[in-house]
Structure 1
Amino acid sequence: MIAHRETAAPFLPCLNPATLSGVDLPDFLALASAAGFEAVELSIQQAQAVGAARVRDLLAEHGLTVAAASGILPAGPVLPAPLLVDTAAYDEHLLTLRERLKTFTELDCPVATTVLNPFSPLDQGEALTLACQRITRLADTAAEYGVRLAVEAVSVVDGLPPELAGPHPVAATLPAVAELLHESGAENAAVLVDSFHWAVSGADPRHITDLGTGGVGHVQVADVPHAGTPHGWTDGLRLFPGDGALNWSAFADALTQVDYTGTVSVELFNPVLRALPEDEIAARSYRAATGCWTPEEASR
């Protein structure tokens, strides 16, 4: 039995597999548990490759639960595809959608995450219409399996991967994604709040509190640099929570106001931090996710 430390953090810490890029699933679970985590995010494709029964056994062995999983629209063996993936790929993904959702239920995973493209080759109106249709389709199908769709707003402008780039804006802030979900009419969809993207778009607590009770489906966390301007920040500059300039008290207060009681998942893409030893990354992620909410001197 894994002995986990008690924490005074207001939310349950979680670890995103992107923070330990390149680690296979069994090792990722072992590292997360050894660091103190009780919840993880997964790639649903990785879970399917290992096998749901084997993953369930590993989760039980390490005392872990699955808070959320990416890949409701997959891109290869690990990565997720964005919501506005090209039509041919989207139609192909629909053929195996129920197989992936079955794996979600076998792992007791309550949330399927997806990323809304902030930019697209499509005109904005066409892109928003298509996004509404896909959100409704995915959310309604996921509901049949007891899984909720969480849609992420990407506010970073520079350094985006090609699949998220394009000449036309789509929706890149929490209010814009919330409005899109409202327009879609999907009752089984909520917003994925990422602290880094929230900060890039201005760190306005109202962007979270206006989502209302139940409006936040999942939370991912990383800190922002002390230097530079938000418009120029890229995902490669993400820091461990508490190491940067983000106002964590304001972030936590906004989540509390909408009665969010779920996990906060550490998600880093910083190549310098990813080059650290894997066990150190996991341990620092856990300390960060439990210690960022109050000043260091107050937690001693």
Structure 2
Amino acid sequence: MSRSVGVAAPFRPCLNPATLSGVDLPDFLALAAAGGFTAVELSIQQVQALGAARVRDLLAEHGLTVAAASGILPAGPVLPAPLLVDSAAYDEHLRTLPTRLTTFAALGCPVATTVLNPYSSLRQSESLALARTRIAQLADTAADYGVRLAVEAVSITDGLPPELDGPHPVAVTLPAVAELLHDSGTANAAVLVDSFHWAVAGADPGHITALGTGGVGHVQIADVPHTGTARGWTDGLRLFPGDGALRWSVFADALHRVGYHGPASVELFNPVLRALPEDEIAARSHRAATGCWPPREAAR
């Protein structure tokens, strides 16, 4: 796919730490800035481990802001736990939630991302009821800290980690997650739109435009392969935006229609791309995040 040259991107380029897996936080920030980014996503656990004050200093040094952070429900020192984590862990996470949200606020981070399990060991009616309750709890608590909850729909079916898999479906598309958020009754949650999952689910622009104004809380981007079928795509096949078959003009237009003009964060899990030199990954990610959009979109 051809890339636009010499025009501004329609969304603010952002870098997700998964794209540079295994890099510690200070190095990640330095690499992101050197690659051209001015916005990043972070793991809130890594921020807490280093200290919010130190991270603020590093952000200022590198000219970076935090667009979003994972870990409102943490899993270990870096990774997030999914929304339907087991009850004992969730109760503990809820107890320590104010501490994490204080860190979000200290960074000026406006969005807390979380992943909704696409499948579960619970029957669908049970998992949806549990998800509604937890979304309301997390979002309403986060509102007191000036943080909005963004809930991601996971649409891939192959290669899911055990914590996201199970015999019963929960909600695997943008409309299904949007309905869940509506039914939760909170006003402080929106949908996290991931271009790869959107494409796996059929790349229907109506899935985005139906979210309505304010319905998109955050955007993550990666491209899809030219070969194979959507049902067989896994996160390990993610490509730099603009290198694959995703219809970027359609994706961008749908986001514009709901008034989204915020960050678009490059998120890759492809082991081949992750094996590239770290500075090359950061630089290529920035070129992709600015160049994947067709000229007429990038000129807006």
TM-score (norm 1): 0.96
Task: State the SS of the aligned residue for 1:146.
Answer: coil
The equivalent residue for 2:34 is 34
Verify the 8 A CA contact 2:7 2:295 in the aligned structure 1. Answer: no
Following superposition, the deviation at residue 261 of structure 1 comes to: 1.4
> Residue 259 of structure 2 aligns with which residue?
259
1:234 is aligned to 2:219: no
Q: Deviations over 1:125-176 (max 9, x none)?
A: 0000000000000000000000000000000000000000000000000000
When residues 295 and 256 of structure 1 are mapped into structure 2, their CA distance, relative to the original with a 3 A threshold, is closer
Distance 1:54 1:79, change over 3 A: same
**1:295 shift after superposition:** 6.3
Kindly provide the amino acid, as one letter, of the partner of residue 93 in structure 2: H
Equivalent residues in 2 for 1:238-249 (5 A)? 238-249=238-249
2:223 match:
223
Of structures 1 and 2, the one with the larger relative CO (CA 8 A, separation 6+) is 2
Query: Structure 2 CA distance, aligned partners of 1:255 and 1:274?
Result: 28
* 2:112 matched residue in structure 1: 112
1:152 maps to what in 2? Answer: 152
Amino acid at match of 1:70: S
Rounded to whole Å, the distance in 1 between the matches of 2:269 and 2:287 is 18
> In the aligned structure 1, how far is the partner of 2:127 from the partner of 2:94?
19
Q: CA deviation at 1:90?
A: 0.3
Q: Which secondary structure state, in structure 1, belongs to the residue aligned with residue 251 of structure 2?
A: helix
Tell me what 2:204 maps to.
204
**Which residue is 1:47 aligned to?**
47
Equivalent residue, structure 2, for 1:3: none
Q: Counterparts of 1:61 and 1:295 in 2: how far apart (Å)?
A: 32
Q: Deviations over 1:7-57 (max 9, x none)?
A: 511000000000000000000000000010000000000000000000000
The answer on whether the counterparts of 2:208 and 2:254 sit within 8 Å (CA) in structure 1 is yes
In structure 1, C-alpha distance between the alignment counterparts of 2:15 and 2:57, rounded to whole Å: 19
**C-alpha distance in structure 2 between counterparts of 1:295 and 1:259, whole Å:** 19
Deviation at 1:222, TM superposition (A): 0.1
Structure 1 gap segments, 5+ residues each:
1-5
Distance (whole Å) between structure 2 residues aligned to residue 142 and residue 7 of structure 1: 36
Which amino acid in structure 2 is aligned with residue 26 of structure 1?
A: P
Counterpart residue number, 2:167: 167
1:67-113 per-residue CA deviation (whole Å, 9 max, x = no partner) reads 00000000000000000000000001111100000000000000000
CA distance in 2: counterparts of 1:217 and 1:17, whole angstroms: 19
**Cα distance per residue 1:201-246 (max 9 Å; x no partner):** 0000000000000000000000000000000000000000000000
Instruction: Please give the alpha-carbon distance, in whole angstroms, between the structure 1 residues aligned to 2:96 and 2:266.
Output: 29
How far is 1:294 from its partner?
A: 1.4
Shift of residue 59 of structure 1? 0.2
Contact 2:17-2:42 at 8 Å conserved across structures: yes
Which letter maps to 2:153? Answer: A
Instruction: Determine the C-alpha separation between the residues in 2 that align with 1:257 and 1:164.
Output: 31
User: How far apart, in 2, do the equivalents of 1:175 and 1:88 lie?
Assistant: 30
In structure 2, what is the Cα distance between the partners aligned to 1:290 and 1:235?
22
Look up the match of 1:19: 19
In structure 2, what is the Cα distance between the partners aligned to 1:108 and 1:243? 33
Q: Is the 8 A contact 2:119 2:169 kept in 1?
A: yes
Q: 1:143, 1:60 → 2: CA distance?
A: 25
SS in 2 for 1:94: helix
1:74 corresponds in structure 2 to: 74
* Cα distance in 2, alignment partners of residues 94 and 206 from structure 1: 35
Unaligned regions of 5+ residues in structure 2, if any?
1-5
Q: Which secondary structure does the structure 2 equivalent of 1:187 belong to? A: coil
Structure 2: which amino acid aligns with 1:45?
Q
Question: 2 CA distance for matches of 1:7 and 1:149?
Answer: 32
SS at match of 2:132: helix
**Which residue identity lines up with residue 161 of structure 2 in the other structure?**
P
Give runs of ≥4 in structure 1 deviating > 6 Å. Answer: none
For 1:192, the equivalent position in structure 2 comes to 192
TM-score of the two chains, using structure 2 as the length reference: 0.96
Which residue is equivalent to 2:3? none
SS in 1 for 2:72: coil
